[in-house]
Amino acid sequence: MSSGSRRSVSPRRWPRGSSGRTSAWKITRLWSRIISRRLSVNIDRRLYQLYYEGQPLISSNIAKRYARAFFKIAGEEKRYESYYQELGRFSAILKENKNLSEFLANPIFALSDKKAVVESLLEKIRISPLTSNFLKLLVDRRRIGILSDIQGCYRELMDIALKKVRVTVKTAFPLTRETSARLQNGLERLTDREVEMVVLEDRSLLGGVVVRVGDTLYDGSVRTQLNNIRNLLGEEI
């Protein structure tokens, strides 16, 4: 062979049954498993992020439809408030247990597993068959994630039917029982409805009260009055 010729080198092959080939094969197989597992985890995380961080998958109109359907059945039995309380009890369980709430809303987990968990939970709490079947339906239709929205829509329908209105009152200092009663009576005359009043204390108001009735705000706080005076002085200056 001349000095200018090149010697061809064949690729190295592991002898049959050798420990080197076996070790290389095991490492390759192990690495492929690790990669597959990581890809699976990344895909699951991506699905989870798309579900929670993307555009809302369910509109409020769907929540209203479910609320109206459940409200109609409740109306036939004249048990608006008791069914509302049952929805609230189950909704409170989901709010208190974040892991449970995320499990039921996560599309990665099997529907059969979710139904089994909900059925087991419903057996432990006192709840009517109607509400129980309604909650199972929400799980089956993958709508359990909007239970709080459905509950809110149901409450609005219930308040209209029972001629109730919910009022939030903010005060700088606690109201006496007499003042609270006078305020509630005045609001009932104003709205011509039964008033359910929630009083909150807010020291930043300095004085006076702020009353919210539905979408209407009555602001009689000292803070707002001072701000109005400042605005007037600013314009004059």
Residues in the chain, pLDDT under 70: 1-59, 220, 222, 225-226, 228-237
The Cα 159–Cα 108 span in angstroms is: 37
Dump pLDDT digits (tens) for 161-204: 988 888 888 888 888 889 888 888 888 888 888 888 888 888 87
Look-up: residue for tokens 């709490």? 125
DSSP 189-205: HHHTSEEEEEEEE-GGG
Gap between the Cα atoms of 79 and 127, Å rounded: 13
Q: What is the pLDDT of residue 172?
A: 80
Q: What is the pLDDT of residues 19-32, one digit of tens each?
A: 444 444 444 444 44
Written as one string, the DSSP assignment of 72-114 is: HHHHHHT-HHHHHHHHHHHHHHHHH-HHHHHHHH-TTS-HHHH
Q: Exposure pattern of 178-194 as b/e (b: 16+ CB <10 Å)?
A: eeeeebbeebeeebebe
For residue 228, what pLDDT is reported? 64
Are 71 and 154 in contact by the 8 Å Cβ rule? The answer is yes
For 4, what's the count of Cα atoms within 13 Å in the CB-facing half-sphere? 0
Domains of the chain: 60-159 (1.10.520.20), 164-236 (no CATH)
| Predicted pLDDT at 237 | 39
Report the DSSP beta bridge partners of residue 169.
199, 211
Per-residue confidence (pLDDT) for residue 132, from 0 to 100: 92
- Residue-level pLDDT at 136: 92
Output the pLDDT for position 174. 85
Residue type, 61: N
0.85 surpassed by pTM: no
